[in-house]
Amino acid sequence: MRPLLPDAGWVGVDSSPGELAAAARAGRGPLVRAGADALPMASGSVGAVCASMCLPVLTPLPRVLDEIQRVLRPGGMLAALVPARLGLDPPGLLGWARVMRSLGVVRQPWPNPQARDSVAKVLRQAGFRVRSDERRVFTLVLETPEDAAVLVDGLYLLGLSPERGDAVKRALAEWVRGGQTLPLPLRRVLATTRGPGSDSTLDDFRYGRTSPDARRAVGPLYPPGQSPTAAVSGAPPVMAPRLPPADGMHTSRQGVSAVWKTK
């Protein structure tokens, strides 16, 4: 997200001390430990939230969505990016079957499977106004052992031991030699909170009338590995500093960040 928002200030929020330490080593900051269900933001202080690949795994999901609505301004935008179902794609199904067989699982154990292809319905039930619902299929190119390792690390697999993970990476490293591709179906839903400005907010994002910071925070529809990500899990917050009103906030399966103008 930083390259897309060069003029914005950031606060990074994560429940994992390890992730926060990694962010600190990379020179990121300020950093706050918190969970997605207890964001250290004032009510109505955020213009846009980008929830990237996280809604199917964040629990309890109703509380997380309530918290997103709390921090969003009236008419504020939520852009949710989630993994979608593959559909009828025999070569793609065979490729993913090879990966899952190496892992010894049939599918990923999503805590909130309804927040994938039915995420628009979930958001409506939570009180959002759904403005668009788009599905696209991207291609993941796998050519090196590093590509195989990134693939395994990016899958949601509770209980996968480090030893088992390393063995799977070695097996898939052999499989990808010479090149393999996997389809990556993703769904992006844009939704706004109800209230004054909710109708104009969508047009502002569509036609470029928002600030560049907020507009880029929603961003285009990126596949995993090409979209900026940060980190969120469910630990309670240990600190909640006073933060400036945010133009945008970004959450992913691993994290959450907020951005605000510095000029």
Q: Return the domain boundaries, the chain.
A: 2-261
Question: Would the CA dihedral through 221, 81, 16, 113 be positive or negative?
Answer: negative
pTM over 0.85: no
Supply angle C-alpha 49, 156, 129, rounded to 5: 30
pLDDT value of position 8: 56
Q: CA-to-CA distance for 165 and 186, rounded, in angstroms?
A: 25
d(CA 175, CA 194): 49
Confidence of residue 263 (pLDDT cuts 50, 70, 90): very low
Q: Which residue, 232, 197, 231, is CA-closest to 214?
A: 197
| CATH of 2-261 given 2.40.128, 2.60.40, 2.70.70, 3.40.50 | 3.40.50
For 146, other C-beta atoms within 10 Å of its C-beta total: 12
Reported as a single tens digit per residue, the pLDDT across 5-55 is 566 556 677 777 877 888 789 887 778 888 889 988 899 988 878 788 889
- pLDDT, position 143: 94
Of 62, 79, 86, give the one whose Cα is nearest residue 183. 86
| 147 pLDDT above the threshold of 90 | yes
pLDDT of res. 252: 41
